A and B are shown apart, each in its own frame.
Chain A
């Protein structure tokens, strides 16, 4: 069973360009989470999606950022008109369902996409 896949692993963009980050969850997982890790910091939640639905986007910047998880294909995190402050590692995690037992549902993380904005 392949793990969570993210591509590209490294992405370089110039200021003003668009960045598209892809995440393929583990087989059978319908819940996807995106986190951002700025240099020297912990991961910060961005958005939680199920197939075709955004469930919680309270961690997403209001402008330039969007996410989707279509019925077919990977989840996409899109950053328009990138700025230097967007340089970070972006992690995707997936889980099979939200709750199990008393609430433990491990989120399996992908290897991350490291975005560098020049």
Chain B
């Protein structure tokens, strides 16, 4: 069974600094996708970035990058130059190619301080 672990219930960062949100996963499927979503206080789920298990390079999307370490089964999200609007809940998720569902971690609440 697939599993996602986010060990940081809460993280704090100063505005304009970088922050890393941790995510480890467990799966026996050799082919899978890893996702990060942002959930602001308004509640919607916003897709941020995706990493495929066979991708050779780490994914990047603007200020977001994914530090993918396949052997360690980790997919940490790095947010550079944090902004006040980055304050939100962040969820790591995985989908195995053999399945359909997304499995989510418990989330990390990020607070950006001015």
User: In the complex the two chains form, is A102's CB within 8 Å of B50's CB?
Assistant: no
Give residues of chain B (6-62) contacting chain A, Cβ–Cβ below 8 Å. Answer: 31-33, 35, 37, 43-47, 50, 52-54
Write out the residue numbers on chain B whose beta carbons fall within 8 Å of the beta carbon of A25: none
Roughly how many angstroms separate A55 CA and B101 CA in the complex, as a whole number?
11
Write out the residue numbers on chain A whose beta carbons fall within 8 Å of the beta carbon of B52: 101-104
The size class of the interface chain B forms with chain A is 20 to 34
Highest count of chain B CB atoms <10 Å: which of A99, A102, A103:
A103
User: In the complex the two chains form, is A103's CB within 8 Å of B31's CB?
Assistant: yes
CB of B103 within 8 A of chain A?
yes
The 9 closest A-B pairs by CB, nearest first: A103-B97, A109-B45, A42-B104, A45-B101, A43-B104, A48-B100, A42-B106, A111-B44, A104-B33
**25 A/B residue pairs, CB under 8 Å, sorted by A:** A31-B100, A33-B100, A33-B101, A35-B104, A43-B104, A45-B102, A45-B103, A48-B100, A56-B100, A56-B101, A91-B45, A93-B102, A98-B100, A99-B97, A102-B31, A102-B33, A102-B52, A102-B54, A102-B97, A107-B102, A109-B37, A109-B45, A110-B44, A111-B44, A112-B45
